[in-house]
A and B are shown apart, each in its own frame.
Chain A
Amino acid sequence: MSRPASEAGQRSQATGWATAARELGLASGAPVNLGWHLADRICAAGRGGHPALLWEGHAGETRRYDFDDLRRRSNAIASFLAGLGVGPGDRVCLFLDRVPELYFAFVGILKLGAIVQPLFSAFGDESLQTRLEDAGTLALLTQRRHLGKVRRARERLPALRHVVVVDVGAGALQPGEVALDLERGPLPEAFEPHRAGPETPSILHYTSGTTGKPKGAQHVHGSLPAQYWTAKVALDLRPDDVYWCNADPGWVTGTSYGIIGPWSNGVTQVVLDAGFNAERWYETLEKQRVTVWYSAPTAIRLLMREGTELAYRHDLRALRHLASVGEPLNPEAVHWSRATFGRPFHDTYWQTETGCIVIANLPGARIKAGSMGRPFPGIDAAVLDPERFEPLPAGRVGQLGLRPGWPSMLRGYWGNRSAFDAKFRKGWYLTGDRASVDADGDFWFVGRDDDVINTGGHLVGPFEVESALLEHPAVAESAAVGKPDPVNMEVVKAFVVLKPGFEPSTDLELEVMNALRRRLSPLAMPQEVEFVPSLPKTRSGKIVRRVLRAREWGEPPGDLSSLMED
């Protein structure tokens, strides 16, 4: 049987999170400012001189900041924003590459009690504007190179009053834009952190669904014990580790385990602000003597393509623990990792909404290659019948459900109560992922329960892609589905019906692809556009994506009786 809620589960839940809260010095109901915990608490514990951030830019420039630097720079940003009139509860967007200012601002905004809204800096005009509009964002931090997108979005965003540019140099600013130079400005010794309670909003991470616009998953300061504890237990972080998380903080892995997890544990982390290059990654692992590495299957598969020899040319003996997240880790990657690094990647499973790892191959446990592992102690997970929402027997595929109650679970979708309520049935949080559990209690990922496309570990909503496609003058109708991809698990494929007067061509395909990239993001750009005379539809005219998706995956299309005939 899969695992129903049990007394033992409840006890371990209480024990695990309570241990974390005790180690963090959190008395029940006491203020718990996440920003303060990531910097000031570590300094107060006598580790202010310990390295917090080992940063390297794409051109090879390096910077090193200790926890006291982090404390004072986050104070500077909190003071600066307060001076602009930003206060508790206001939404502040980070639209930055992985520059040091992003990390300091994340902590500073939390200290101020404002809500951090990190957005992937490769987002195009529409993706940026949609998310800022939905959140009613008051202030945004960015770099000169992204100002064009921000300015275009701002024309339609009256609520966005402050744009803070962190590298403005001699560039001209427009009204409402202000420069912040952390390297030259004052670094206040003290900043009184907002007295955040466990339920005070902290972070807004946008995530895509099948229908409608992206939703802002809202998290709280009281999530801290979950990220602290799972980073310590599932990622095996220890005080003198050098930790590298490959994720961008535009996505939840880049905040929960690219900022909160390591820094709440007082652990040094490495950031490489550069695109993927296998040689460069191995150099970073070697040079920084990385001990714990949290990566993603897509990156691992790209490394596998480059061969083992490249890895062997580097001294990677410092590596102690390897983990992966974002999409299922295929068995070949686990075996390759053992052969190449002498230790396996440990798959972990969680979502934007869960805020922390909920299923994992824990350090030291035996790994069944290809399995996501077992529920993290304190998490109650089950595979549910998709109609009745009751746990299914072992071996059956159903929807993965989690019993609510762990500290970092989302508290809502920003301004969208009905979408939040729809995530719960019969006391279970529904992940939207299909899985099975075997007789040993190990969980196996099967796929999404909806039409959302998981590409390289990032979720892309088909509705967003289709809406953007329809903006193109040549497109009459469109459907977006995931198609298999050896590196990214799946990539976006678009089916397009052209308006009269337009003919399919490679030029037009390229034009459509680039238009989507600029409008949405490189992730959402279809990697293939197929021009078709018509799309499969129900008799009521609704496009049936599953038929197209099944064709791409070589699967049976399911019941076709309700489809309209051409």
Chain B
Amino acid sequence: MDDLERAILDYVRREYLEEDDDRQVGLETPLITGGIVDSFSMVSLKRFLERKNDIEIPDAEATPAAFDSVRSIAALVRRVAARRVPV
């Protein structure tokens, strides 16, 4: 697990799991289909990723499928960051 994946995983656990929620969340755990993050809450997760990584994720790429696991989210962030034009 790299730093990006760890940061996303920590955020998901902190923000989207209740104290008594004993579900284990790992890199491949389905977040959207698993009912941990819903499509509305995706917006705050997207905002977190954008702020943390200084990127802007196009809405067309912020799909439920792309946000369905920590690993796929990290891949999306890397793709978007790689396109960033240095200022």
Contacts and interface: CB of A to CB of B under 8 A. Distances in A.
B40 A273 contact: no
B22 interface: yes
B21 to A, nearest CB: 5
Contact of B21 (A148, A274, A278, A305): A148
B32 A523 contact: no
Interface string B17-54: 01111110000001111110111110110011011000
Given A145-B18, A510-B51, A305 B63 contact: yes
A382 B68 CA distance: 45
A302 interface: yes
B33 A275 contact: yes
Contact of B35 (A58, A280, A510, A514): A58
Nearest to A512: B44
B35 A302 contact: no
Contacts of B23: 145
Nearest to B60: A305
A361 to B, nearest CB: 26
Interface in A493-527: 506-507, 509-510, 513-514, 517, 522-523, 525, 527
B40 A510 contact: no
A4 to B, nearest CB: 41
B12 to A, nearest CB: 12
Contacts of B39: 275-276, 302, 456
A525 B18 contact: no
Contacts, number: 90
Interface residues of A, number: 37
A241 B67 CA distance: 34
B38 to A, nearest CB: 5
B40 A275 contact: no
B20 A274 contact: no
A513 B38 CA distance: 14
Interface residues of B, number: 30
A315 interface: no
Interface string A96-118: 01000000000000000000000
A513 B44 contact: yes
B33 A58 contact: yes
Interface string A271-311: 00111111110000000000000000000001001100000
A280 B33 contact: yes
A122 interface: yes
A162 B26 CA distance: 34
Contacts of B19: 148
Contacts of B7: none
A281 B19 CA distance: 30
Given A275-B35, A278-B64, A279-B65, 5 more contacts: A59-B34, A97-B35, A275-B30, A275-B39, A276-B39
Interface of A: 58-59, 97, 122, 144-149, 273-280, 302, 305-306, 455-456, 486, 488, 491, 506-507, 509-510, 513-514, 517, 522-523, 525, 527
Interface of B: 15, 18-23, 30-35, 37-41, 43-44, 47-48, 50-51, 59-60, 63-65, 68
Question: Which 6 A-B residue pairings sit nearest by Cβ, starting from the closest?
Answer: A522-B40, A148-B20, A275-B32, A522-B41, A148-B18, A145-B21
